[in-house]
Structure formats: structure tokens, C-alpha cells
A and B are shown apart, each in its own frame.
Chain A
């Protein structure tokens, strides 16, 4: 069974600085998707960024980028120029490309932005 592990329950970063959230996963599959979701105090689940396992190039979305290391099964999220609106719970997630459609989530990292 696939698992997703986020080892940092909480992190803090100064506004305008850069922060990296860590995530590791375990799978025997070769084709899959990885995601970072943001859950602000409103509780809405917002997709931040997505990475297809077959792509070697790391995904980037504006100030958000990932470092995808397939062999190491590592998928970290880098947030540049942190803003107060980035304060939220961040979930790393996995979805298989074949078979089951479910998303498997990590436990989350709560990110605090210090003004």
C-alpha cells in the first residue's frame, strides 16, 4: 500500500523569505501523480501544484515549486517570497495513475508566516 509521510508538523517562516516543506512517499508503482494541497482556515482544499511521475522536470506555479526526486521518493515544496496569505495547512498527496482513483494524503504541515 502507498503511504505519504510529512515529518514536519509545523513550520514558521518570515514574510518574504523562502521555506521548504518536506514529503516522502512509498510506492511500488512507477506511474503516479503527486500533489501539494493547501488548506487555509476556511478549510477549502486548494490544489497548489501537481507533478506527474513520468516527468523529470520539476513543476512550478508562480512562487511555488517542487523538488521531485523519484528514486529517493521525495517530493518537497518550496515557497518563495512567502506572503501572509500562504499561512495554511499543507498536505502532500499521492494518486496512482492506474487502478484506484483515491488520493492518499500525508498528515500535513502547518505553515505560519511571521510578519
Chain B
């Protein structure tokens, strides 16, 4: 158990819908990262927040957005869902910016299925 929690574990929804994935980082961790794992794209970095502020952005679609709240939990919002958005979404957390050597710890993931 990494200490990172993600809810829900599984999510099944229809095209065009909007969903919210939630992540609680390890106690004391200020950075939160979101990754998407899909069959065709593999594991891709989406976005990072550090202490409430967006720090880095990857290949995140405009239909996707995220935020980190004052209690440091983070939410990833996916809207106008398409079949291709079906994937495993990981949240990871670290004490600080990884450039200082801090490790990223991964949560168990949320499996999103878009029908």
C-alpha cells in the first residue's frame, strides 16, 4: 500500500458524459501527479500540482481539467467523454518537486470505461 488513495476504483459511463476522479496523496506530500494508461498510448503524464498550484502539464486534452484543493487532495475532471478516454488513470504523490529527488508513489488507479 503506497498510502495514495484513489476513488472510485472503477467507473463506467457513456460517451458525452462528465466524470470526476479523486486522489488523496500520502500524508505530508505536497505534489500530486496524474497519469493515463491506455492500450494505444501507454503510460502518459497528464498534469502535476504542487501545493495547490499547477506545476507541469503534459499531453492533457482540453476536455480534461484538474485541481488541487487546500487539503491537498486532487480531482481530475473528464468531460465530453469519448470511447478513447477509456483507460486506467493513476494518481501519484511526492513530498516535493521530483527534481529534488523525491520519489513519486502511485495510487491503485481508477479504471474508466466509456461505453
Contacts and interface: CB of A to CB of B under 8 A. Distances in A.
Interface of A: 33, 42-47, 50, 52, 91, 95-108
Contact of A108 (B42, B55, B109, B111): B42
B110 to A, nearest CB: 10
Given A43-B88, A101-B31, A104-B45, 11 more contacts: A42-B108, A43-B108, A43-B111, A44-B108, A50-B103, A97-B99, A102-B33, A102-B56, A102-B58, A103-B35, A107-B42
Q: How would you classify the secondary structure of chain B's contact residues: helix, strand, loop or mixed?
A: strand
B52 interface: no
28 contacts: A43-B88, A43-B108, A43-B109, A44-B2, A44-B106, A45-B106, A46-B106, A47-B103, A47-B105, A50-B103, A52-B101, A91-B43, A96-B99, A98-B99, A101-B56, A101-B94, A101-B97, A101-B99, A102-B33, A102-B48, A102-B56, A103-B98, A103-B104, A104-B45, A105-B43, A106-B42, A107-B42, A108-B43
Contacts of A104: 45
Interface string B86-102: 00101010100111010
A63 to B, nearest CB: 21
A74 to B, nearest CB: 20
Nearest to A102: B45
The 10 residue pairs across chains A and B that have the minimum distance between CB atoms:
A102-B45, A45-B106, A101-B98, A105-B43, A107-B42, A100-B56, A98-B99, A101-B97, A43-B109, A44-B108
Nearest to A99: B99
Contacts of B97: 101
